[in-house]
Structure 1
Amino acid sequence: MPKTKFQKVIFGMMMALAMVYGMEVYNALLRNKGLSADSFVVPVWEMAVLMLIVIGLESIIAGPLARWIAFKIVDVKKSREITVILAVSIATVCLMCPLMSLTATILFNGLSKTMATVWLHTFVRNLPMAFLWQLLIAGPVVRLVFQSIFKRQLSCGQEQNLTVN
């Protein structure tokens, strides 16, 4: 996975795009009580704002905390790479879903007396889809695309790791 700061930034942007888009389509499906062509059209400004928020929250709060939690559960040195990836992904969803549900509640409904119940409803409704989307679609697709883009750099990094060990 990402080895350099530049690669981490690109990977983060790709994952933010995939997660924001997928969850926005899902929430449009819920709002419209069904899937339509309009469900796949997300305003650019909305995507941009939500991506910035996702990147900020993931970078500052959820990412470091998710890795800390995952590394307490999984022994990085003894575990297969996919086990570590899944542990970090699950911990990230557990942290980002309530944070982004709160963000969406505030952005789209404002501050009100019912904010807590709207947030809880949003969170509960989005959590199963966030897990499925991250673990089955967004995560694998983003990793595949990322690896194909950075194939040469990642293989050079592996060769260097093999010669150092």
Structure 2
Amino acid sequence: MPKTKFQNVVFTIIMAAIMVYGMIVYNVALNTGGVTNATFGMALHEMPIMVPIAFILEFFVVEKLATRLAFTVVRPTDRPQIITYAISTMIVCIMCPTMSLIATLLFKEPSLGTWVQTFGCNMPMALIWQLLFCGPLARLIFRTLFRKQLAAQARTA
């Protein structure tokens, strides 16, 4: 996917924004007892706080660690899709407990039990959201934005 540092920054912003918004919608729905039209607007209030946190964690720490962990399970010769799914899964395995802890500290009554419950509720949704919706959508948006650059890079490679 991203071939340059700039492309990686843009891709990470796209991924963080979509992932964070989806998870905030989910958590607002859990806290309010269901999804209504208002849920989607209420979720926007936490975005300015949580997206930069997710971006910084992902870009500077989690991406490298998740990639190393993924390659303990897959090989560089495996199909690119399998490698992408392995890295995405490892990212969720690191980001979900971390972001759940941050959300617990910022928006809930902080306690170990609250964090464990938040993480436990978020993990299945985060994995499904990432693998089936957020990841493919973020990659589609990225490929659309960088179509010409990616094609030129493929020709020179």
Partners of 2:40 and 2:92 in 1: CA distance:
22
Kindly indicate whether the alpha-carbon contact (under 8 Å) linking 1:21 and 1:42 is maintained by their aligned counterparts in 2.
no
1:120-144 CA-partner distances (Å, limit 9, x unpaired)? 0000000000001000111001101
Cα deviation, 1:84-136, whole Å, max 9, x if unaligned, reads 1101000000000000000000001254xxx1000000000000000010001
Structure 1 position 46, deviation (Å): 1.9
Alignment of 1:142-153 (within 5 A): 142-153=138-149
- Partner residue in 2 for 1:18: 18
Maintained 8 Å contact 2:28/2:43: no
Larger Rg: 1
- 8 Å CA contact retained: 1:105, 1:119: yes
User: 2: distance between equivalents of 1:45 and 1:135?
Assistant: 25
Unaligned runs of 5+ in 1: none
Partner of 1:72, secondary structure, is coil
**Judging changes above 3 Å, is the alpha-carbon distance between structure 1 residues 36 and 43 closer, same or farther for their aligned structure 2 residues?**
closer
Alpha-carbon RMSD across the aligned residues, in angstroms, is 1.2
CA contact (8 A) 2:25 2:43 kept: no
TM-score of the aligned structures, taking structure 1 as reference length: 0.91
TM-score with structure 2 setting the length: 0.95
1:106 aligns with 2:105: yes
Q: Does 1:33 align with 2:29?
A: no
Give the aligned partner of residue 8 of structure 2.
8
Give matches, 1:52-91, under 5 Å.
52-76=52-76, 78-91=77-90
Q: Tell me which amino acid in the other structure corresponds to 1:144.
A: L
Moved more, 8-17 or 101-110: 101-110
Aligned to 1:127: 123
Where structure 2 has 5 or more consecutive residues not aligned to the other structure, the ranges are: none
Q: Report if the CA contact (8 A) 2:19-2:134 is conserved.
A: yes
**How big is the shift at 1:44?**
4.8
Given that 2:21 and 2:43 are in contact with CA atoms closer than 8 Å, whether structure 1 keeps it comes out as no
User: 2:9 touches 2:59 (CA, 8 Å); kept in 1?
Assistant: no
* SS, match of residue 35 in structure 1: coil
- 1:44-59, aligned counterparts within 5 Å? 44=44, 46-59=46-59
| Cα shift at 1:45 | 5.1
1:18–1:142 CA contact under 8 A, matched in 2 = yes
